[in-house]
Amino acid sequence: MGDEGRFKRYGQGQGSLLPAFVSDALEASDPAFFINDVVDSLDLRQFEERYSADGEHAYSPRLLLKLWLYAATQGVYSGREIARRLRRDLGFRYLAGDGTQPDFRTINRFRVRHREDFVWVLRATVDLARRSGMAKLGVVAVDGTKLRANTSRHKAMSYGRMRKEEQRLEAEVQEILRRMEDVNKREDDEHGSDGDSGGGLPAELQSRAERLAKIRALREQLEQERGAKVEDRHQKSFADPEAQMMQTSDGALVYAYNAQAAVSEDGLIVATGLTTAVRDTEHLPPMLDAVAKNTSEEIGTVLADNGYLTEANLEALAQRKQRGLIAVSREFRLPRRWPKGPQTRRMHRILRLPWAKALYGRRKTQGERQFAEVKHAMGFRRFMLRGKAKVRGEWDLVAAAFNLRRLRAMTLAPA
């Protein structure tokens, strides 16, 4: 009553809730446009070849790749959440296009189906950066971080308990089989044998046999990994048997994977790795190989922290004629003992030189910044998938999304 003269017109019965084109409702700088242009420029034949021409038509892999990359830049890693955003978020709706929208099952299946293809997407982001004059390899920092697995200690069992449970279940299985034998014998005596041994396993036997088989497989896997060093306290997860107990940066002891990254001078991830090994020592040569494969260029100087220090790694650098600086102690502290091994002693002497100190001083920022951004700005602290092969693909996808975030920021930065 009388509000028309004081306020702008307000009503909810208008015929069009949005502009004629969703893109008109987004700001020109929205990352959805950048993701869209990059993916449209890629040749996705290797994605498309995984689909059959028979049956119902599949959703375009280009559409689903855009959704996953954009989702990762926005801190979304759940297929259900992406499906929800398709109804509420204009950026997701723009990338989904005008046709029918995929449900969360389709979105999740895409990430699993193409887990081996995401390393190619990462290489494509590196190639895009290098064609733009970025991803410089004069100095490359290699580092690793522990990312939580999609399981917990509540879904695990210790080696000692595994052996006790095996014995208990084996005894219960034998007792059930003995009772079945007695029942069958009595029925045969009363009614005669019909050649049927019972019509299938009873539920109580089947459930125990399945659990026994799972526990036995976990125990054998643990014995194979630990060998003679296996102890009763060592444990395995039923949900993700390949994940290992690791200590994260916040001090928590959890099931995790060790995610590796090689980072260029301008902060782009030029190669990744993923392992179940807790220590970083064995990962330096494979990471150098991954950089060479992704860039087809040689690294000027590689920087790595004390976690990668072994005489074998330093020998490998020397054989490759690869210049590198690996910390002999933490943060340039004097080692308690004089380093063993000629290569380690040589590295200790080099790191005391002013030029080496200045160059190695860049490692902390260059080698660790990407993990801080992935965990905090992008909100990726835990894998959604299970199993090393699937988790490796998930890490490659996150690394590719990180590069796109970085490339967009560098593109928008004032000259």
Q: Are 31 and 91 in contact (CB under 8 A)?
A: yes
Identify whether residues 252 and 226 lie together within a single domain.
no
395 belongs to a structural domain = no
Q: Are 272 and 397 in contact (CB under 8 A)?
A: no
Identify whether residues 184 and 294 lie together within a single domain.
no
Range of the domain at 253: 135-152+244-384
289 belongs to a structural domain = yes
Number of domains observed in the structure of the chain: 3
Identify whether residues 284 and 371 lie together within a single domain.
yes
Q: Which residues pair with 139 in a beta bridge?
A: 301
413 belongs to a structural domain = no
Identify whether residues 140 and 88 lie together within a single domain.
no
277 belongs to a structural domain = yes
Rounded-to-integer distance, Cα 311 and Cα 198, Å? 64
Identify whether residues 14 and 30 lie together within a single domain.
yes
| Stated pTM of the model | 0.84
Residue 382 DSSP one-character state: B
Q: Give 281's contacts (C-beta < 8 A, 6+ positions apart).
A: 307, 308, 309, 310, 313
Identify whether residues 25 and 90 lie together within a single domain.
yes
Identify whether residues 103 and 140 lie together within a single domain.
no
Q: Are 145 and 259 in contact (CB under 8 A)?
A: yes
Q: Sign of the C-alpha dihedral, residues 151, 152, 153, 154?
A: negative
Identify whether residues 146 and 209 lie together within a single domain.
no
Identify whether residues 64 and 80 lie together within a single domain.
yes
Q: Going residue by residue through the chain (415 aa), what tens digit of pLDDT does each one get?
A: 455 667 777 666 665 555 667 887 888 889 999 999 999 999 999 998 888 777 678 899 999 999 999 999 999 999 999 999 999 999 999 999 887 899 999 999 999 999 999 999 999 999 999 998 999 999 999 999 999 999 877 777 776 777 777 777 777 777 777 777 766 677 665 665 555 544 455 676 677 777 778 778 878 877 787 778 877 777 788 788 889 889 887 788 899 999 999 999 999 999 999 999 999 999 999 999 999 999 999 999 999 999 999 999 999 999 999 999 999 876 555 566 666 789 999 998 999 899 999 999 999 899 999 999 999 999 999 999 999 999 999 999 999 999 999 999 988 866 5
25 belongs to a structural domain = yes
Identify whether residues 104 and 233 lie together within a single domain.
no
Identify whether residues 139 and 233 lie together within a single domain.
no
Both tokens assigned to 224: 């194979």
Identify whether residues 75 and 146 lie together within a single domain.
no
